[in-house]
Amino acid sequence: MKRKLNWIDYTIIIIILGVLFVLGTKVRNFIPQKTTVENNTQSSKREVVLKIEDVRKYSVDSIKAGENIYSDDTNYLFGKIKDIEIEDSYLILVKNNGEVVETRSPERYNIILTVDCNVLDRTNGYYSEGITEIKVNSTGKYKTIGLLFTATVQSIGE
């Protein structure tokens, strides 16, 4: 005996197709795609130095050399960590007599990351993978597999 499809069956099929479509677009956006180089741009490999300030020991332990860094805004690859430097974090405090002193922040660290990036040198600035704009002394949100962080661009090298 054959059974005909009713409106409930059609609704379930449409919902399943919608979920598959949404999952497909999410996976497609997560995978970094090759960017095309325009005629007025020049792609080069550069070292970008990022500084993460005043983080706990967990953040220091979760970043490793060789990991990929992604831009949190665009989900595109920013670069690969080449070198990691860890410094103690310091606070500037004012004593009761007005004297300004610099003191060690307990259990806090500054992380300086050297990242290898594919940078497009356009007339109006530098762009990582052609999408994420990079400016010296600007902050941005980045992520690795184990950490989401805000960092300041210290320099863009050769």
For 130-136, what is the mean pLDDT? 81
How far is it, in rounded angstroms, from Cα 69 to Cα 145?
8
> Is the pLDDT reported for residue 32 higher than 80?
no
Is a pLDDT exceeding 60 seen at residue 33? no
Domain spanning 38-156 has what CATH number? Answer: 2.40.30.110
**Is the predicted pLDDT of residue 136 greater than 50, yes or no?**
yes
pTM tops 0.95, yes or no: no
Q: pLDDT (tens digit, 9 = 90+) per residue, 47-68?
A: 999 999 999 999 999 999 999 9
Please give the pLDDT value at position 22. Answer: 87
93 class by beta-carbon count within 10 Å (0-12 exposed, 13-18 middle, 19+ buried): exposed
- CA dist 143 and 66 (Å) reads 14
Output the 3-class SS for the chain: CCCCCCHHHHHHHHHHHHHHHHHHHHHHHHCCCCCCCCCCCEEEEEEEEEEEEEECHHHHHHCCCCCEEEECCCCCEEEEEEEEEEEEEEEEEECCCCCEEEEEEEEEEEEEEEEEEEEEEECCEEEECCCEEECCCCEEEEECCCCEEEEEEEEECC
Domain ranges of the chain: 38-156
**Is pLDDT larger for residue 134 or for residue 17?**
17
* pLDDT for residue 38 is more than 50: no
- What's the mean pLDDT when you consider all of the chain? 86
